[in-house]
Amino acid sequence: MTPRHFGVLPTGEAVELYTVANASGASAEVLTYGCIVRSLRVPDREGRLSDVALGFDSLQAYVEGRAYHGAVVGRIAGRVGAGRLLVDGHELRLPLNDGPNHMHGGRRGLDRRVWSALPTAAPPGASSLRLSYVSKNGEQGYPGCVSITVTYTLTAANALVVETEAASDRPTPVSLTHHGYFNLAGEGSGTVLDHELSVNAEAYVPADDSMAPSDRRESVEGRGADLRRPRRLGDALPDIDGAHGDLYLLRAAGEPLPAAPTPAASVSDPASGRVLLVSTNEACLQVYTGVELKGTRAGKSGVPYGPHAGLCLECEGYPHAGRTDAFGDILVRPGLPQSRRTVYAFATDRKVHSPQPA
């Protein structure tokens, strides 16, 4: 797994690109900038490989962009209302970078850092890349020095496994997610409005007027957020608030996180026959329909990414640490590291199977 040079940041830091491939020819390209998955090539029902991840050909496009294409975001994924959290009874105020909210770790979160990368052992027919970064005390307003690793594994069965680990020298909130935009018909092929989406969740958290989580658990029954049965995304959008997507609660109130991933969502594209099965041991799933993509920047195929050019399925913890215990705990404490796993398993409608952890 020999890296190639991808570019140099204004800071003078070099960014490398690694290719993770499996024995059947599927592959993913990963940048050391932001742990970005730049491309992800998987087969359709006829066995033809196409890139299903939105991304760019230049480092400059990622530096100038604000849509988090393919990156790992944090320290906290999602919006923190008013930037205020509670850590062991003490109020933490994070800098605001999204109107009245703190979002995705701040103006220079983990998506805008250069990570160290090292190929690591993988199961037969698979390959893995481990990336690491040390987030210093006070970075983007967060307490504690946190050692973070992200491991990408492309399995022999065409599953992209995302494993995160975090250890801290003091109590601090950590909730990471992979912010990949998927288009199962192929990036640059148009919108995902014909994709069929289902989410394995009985409850969700409505957003407030600023798009921050409201801290209320509500049933999806009778709501636009109800995706327990597959729906064509284009048909569901008029029922979804702002056509944006919702934050789903994957666990019952007080239910501990499972050790192994459980099914969270599925997406299918009738045209290509590709199917994406998502499983995770996280507490939440944020669905984002890509409604705010502006179409001002062309992707790898030369086609601009406009609204709904890709779909994000962000497996994460609940962002409001300390405000409520019912949605799970994202605090990392000394001697108690955090470990999470999400599986994006690709199949086709000729052979659909449940995603299995690596």
Catalytic residue among 179, 195, 308, 320, which?
179
Backbone angles phi, psi at 323, to 5 degrees: -80, -35
Cα–Cα distance list, 22 to 19, 27, 182, 296 (Å): 10, 6, 19, 34
Burial of 336 (0-12, 13-18, 19+ CB in 10 A): exposed
Interatomic CA distance for residues 174 and 323, integer angstroms: 15
Nearest to 185, CA basis, from 311, 80, 12, 327: 311
Catalytic residue among 16, 314, 316, 320, which?
314
Q: Given the structure tokens 């992209």, which residue do they identify?
A: 160
Annotate 147-196 with DSSP letters as a single string: EEEEEEEE-TTSEEEEEEEEEESS-EE-B-EEE-EE-TT-TTS--STT-E
Active site residue 314: yes
Interatomic CA distance for residues 61 and 297, integer angstroms: 8
Interatomic CA distance for residues 15 and 347, integer angstroms: 32
Label each residue of 26-44 as H, E or C: CEEEEECECCCEEEEEEEC
Active site residue 179: yes
Residues marked as catalytic: 179, 314
